[in-house]
């Protein structure tokens, strides 16, 4: 086992340069039943939820057992495929909560010349093993979608263990290992937050998105064998990933600037 660093405010993520390739996007989205051609030459920004977590793990900050609480995702410009990007970031704060610790991390994605592309701010729960079953992960924002019945359905998905394993990366076994999930207090593995957000961004993309400013709230775990559907509010102020009639993941839309269909 690696010697993991203790999460603390100011802890830096080691800067890294990488590219999200067209092949990688096609493989991962295809595993989820999403047609990658929806995104054209752009990268689905939902990937950077997981990629920012992975960058933290590569820097010695363990993600094992962590649960996404919220993500603020700001796309400053379209994210290109097959082009080098630079990732930097740090932990903003760590706070005790009844179930363990809540951690807020900021990550910035830029082109290699420093041009801002994407800002990702995450809050996650790091549960304490001795507190499994305890409730309380810190202050929760008020629901964005009060009544799932008010949503206009736009897509439906039947999840499967095979798809979740194919999508998931090493680093947090509660997403792909039954024993690890049960040790964390779940009946079965739960999909990663980013995996669920892909289902929403695919439904939203249409002709593409130039700029986006959204806050994503992960309200309920989604097990890898459940069925979910995506719905949007009539005024497009919010989008939800729904289990039955319960909101599992919801996105509050602050800005969504679409690009011309010819782009």
What is the per-residue pLDDT across 149-186, written as a single tens digit (0 to 9) for each? 999 999 999 999 999 999 987 668 889 899 989 988 89
Structure confidence at residue 127 (pLDDT): 86
Tokens matching residue 213: 């400013």
pLDDT tens sequence across 105-140: 999 999 999 999 999 999 999 988 776 666 777 778
Whether residue 262 has pLDDT greater than 50: no
Mean pLDDT of the residues in the chain: 92
Distance CA 186, CA 184 (A): 6
Whether residue 90 has pLDDT greater than 50: yes
Whether residue 195 has pLDDT greater than 50: yes
SS3 category, 251: strand
Distance CA 95, CA 98 (A): 10
Report percent pLDDT > 90 for the chain: 78
Q: How far is CA 258 from the centre of its chain?
A: 21
Pick the CATH number of 12-130+143-258 from 1.25.40.10, 3.10.129.10, 3.20.20.100, 1.10.357.10: 3.10.129.10
Residue 201 near residue 46, CB atoms below 8 Å: yes
Residues 6+ apart with CB under 8 A from 132: 183, 184, 185
Structure confidence at residue 135 (pLDDT): 73
Confidence of residue 263 (pLDDT cuts 50, 70, 90): very low
Q: Which is it for the CA torsion 78, 79, 82, 87, positive or negative?
A: positive
Structure confidence at residue 231 (pLDDT): 97
Whether residue 36 has pLDDT greater than 80: yes
Q: Spell out where 150-198 has E strands.
A: 152-158
Break the chain into its structural domains and give their ranges: 12-130+143-258
Q: What phi and psi values does residue 164 have, to the nearest 5 degrees?
A: -65, -40
Q: Which of 87, 109, 120 is nearest to 16 (CA)?
A: 87
Whether residue 206 has pLDDT greater than 80: no
pLDDT tens sequence across 207-252: 789 999 999 999 999 999 999 999 999 998 999 999 999 999 999 9
Structure confidence at residue 128 (pLDDT): 85
Whether residue 21 has pLDDT greater than 80: yes
């Amino acid at each position: 086992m690696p010697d993991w660093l203790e999460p603390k405010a100011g802890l830096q993520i080691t800067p890294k340069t990488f590219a999200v390739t067209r092949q990688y996007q096609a493989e991962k989205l295809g595993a989820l039943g999403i047609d990658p051609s929806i995104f054209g030459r752009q990268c689905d920004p939902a990937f950077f939820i997981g990629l920012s977590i992975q960058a933290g793990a590569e820097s010695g900050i363990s993600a094992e057992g962590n649960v996404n609480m919220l993500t603020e995702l700001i796309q400053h410009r379209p994210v290109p495929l097959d082009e080098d990007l630079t990732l930097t970031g740090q932990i903003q704060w760590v706070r005790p909560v009844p179930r363990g610790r809540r951690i807020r991390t900021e990550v910035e994605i830029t082109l290699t010349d420093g041009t801002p592309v994407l800002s990702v701010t995450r809050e996650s729960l790091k549960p304490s093993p001795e507190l499994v079953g305890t409730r309380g992960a810190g202050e929760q924002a008020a629901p964005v979608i009060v009544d799932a019945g008010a949503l206009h359905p736009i897509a439906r998905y039947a999840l499967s263990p095979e798809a979740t394993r194919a999508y998931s990366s090493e680093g947090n076994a509660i997403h792909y290992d039954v024993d690890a999930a049960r040790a964390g207090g779940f009946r079965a593995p739960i999909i990663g937050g980013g995996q669920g957000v892909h289902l929403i961004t695919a439904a939203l993309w249409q002709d593409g998105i130039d700029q986006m400013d959204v806050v994503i709230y992960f309200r309920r775990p989604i097990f890898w064998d459940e069925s979910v559907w995506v719905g949007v509010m009539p005024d497009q102020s919010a989008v939800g990933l729904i289990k039955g009639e319960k909101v599992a993941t919801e996105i509050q839309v602050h800005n969504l600037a679409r690009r011309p269909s010819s782009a």
